[in-house]
Amino acid sequence: ILYEVNLFSAELFIERFCMTGGNSPIGYLKAYHTNLYLSADPDKVHEALEAGIAAATMFTPDKMTEVSETQLRVAFDGDAVLFSDESEQIYKAHGLDKFFEHEKAHENRPLDHGPLKGFLEVLGKLQKKFYAKGRRMDCPIRTYLVTARSAASSGTRALKTLRSWGLEIDEALFLAGAPKGPMLEKIRPHIFFDDQMFHVEGAAEMGTVACHVPYGIAQRVARKGGKDKETSPVVK
């Protein structure tokens, strides 16, 4: 993970870093074998995503929720984060009913990968090292899928996609359009990724470190409301 920080204020043990004299560090990310790039600069995040690096704009709340000191908890949205924005495009272009029809018809066809699939893969590889030592139940890494999809209408495809990739998610939470903030307050993840600023802001208000993934059609379509595809056809 490469995270832009103020080296004089962050309480981090840093062995690798690059000083670029004001130039963008993005060109060095692949050379550093970067699995995740976090920055407060959205332009650099866009540049990293275009270079094929998992990246997100980080928002740190003024008052952070207390989190576990023994287990790293990472929460992901699904569409346009772990998965592509294929289904989101159907929803934006044709509405909620067509979205449901499309997901049902393509239930057994895996979604294409999204920008953070590779990061989930890396976490999974780390988890398997603990599983091999008999530590599945007390693994120090736990992953969550927190999605606006509903289990009955569109969640099945998400789970089948992960299975087809050979990836596990520890907990999958299908909210059917309900706000994500209360669920995140219960999970207390160390970090949460979503492509919708509405959810990122809601998570930050709950004291969660939230990261915006500026990927997919939702970034190109003007938002006219705050509800998700499971409850309203109004564009977010």
Q: Is the pLDDT of residue 117 over 90?
A: yes
Q: Which residue in 73, 3, 6 sits closest to 38, CA to CA? A: 3
Any domain includes 75: yes
Any domain includes 160: yes
CATH number at residue 166: 3.40.50
Q: Summarize pLDDT for 66-114 with one digit per residue, the tens.
A: 999 999 999 999 999 999 998 888 888 888 788 888 888 988 999 999 9
Rounded Cα gap, residues 109 and 161, in angstroms: 8
Rounded Cα gap, residues 100 and 98, in angstroms: 5
Any domain includes 12: no
* Mean pLDDT computed over 218-224: 57
pLDDT of residue 4: 52
Any domain includes 144: yes
* Mean pLDDT computed over 218-230: 51
Any domain includes 158: yes
Can you give the length of the chain in residues?
236
CB 14 within 8 A of CB 1: no
pLDDT of residue 219: 81
Any domain includes 215: yes
Task: Indicate which residue of 41, 43, 62, 77 is catalytic.
Answer: 77
Any domain includes 216: yes
Domain count, the chain: 1
* Domain region containing 77: 58-226
| Annotated catalytic residue 97 | no
Task: Give the amino acid at 230.
Answer: E
Query: What does DSSP say about strands 37-39 and 55-59: parallel, antiparallel, or unpaired?
Result: parallel
pTM of the full structure: 0.84
Query: What does DSSP say about strands 72-76 and 55-59: parallel, antiparallel, or unpaired?
Result: unpaired
Average predicted confidence (pLDDT) for the chain: 84
Any domain includes 22: no
Rounded Cα gap, residues 209 and 236, in angstroms: 22
